Amino acid sequence: MSNYSAFEVKIDNDDGTETLLPLQTVNVYDVTNSTPLSDLASDANGIVAAGTLSVDPGTEIRFSFSRADGICGYAEIVTS
């Protein structure tokens, strides 16, 4: 098992502000082993709670989202 920290799901508004995305589906992908993992979701405040994944510590993970209006984003971490 590996841990990941809580994180915000947000978009850059290109005007110096950001918008948090509540109740957004976040896809989780194990980059190290080329394997999709179970999706997560942001809460009503746009936060994904810290948690664990069934991967070895040191695994590279990609968290991504894509909305119907074409806005998308991702972040990659190495688990601990």
Which pLDDT belongs to residue 19? 95
Which pLDDT belongs to residue 38? 97
Number of domains in the chain: 1
Mind listing the pLDDT tens digit of every residue in the chain (80 residues)? 999 999 999 999 999 999 999 999 999 999 999 999 999 999 999 999 999 999 999 999 999 999 888 989 999 999 98
The rounded distance, in Å, linking the Cα atoms of 65 and 70 is 10
The token pair that represents 27 in the structure block: 């896809």
Which pLDDT belongs to residue 15? 96
Which pLDDT belongs to residue 76? 95
The rounded distance, in Å, linking the Cα atoms of 69 and 80 is 34
**Boundaries of domain holding 49:** 2-78
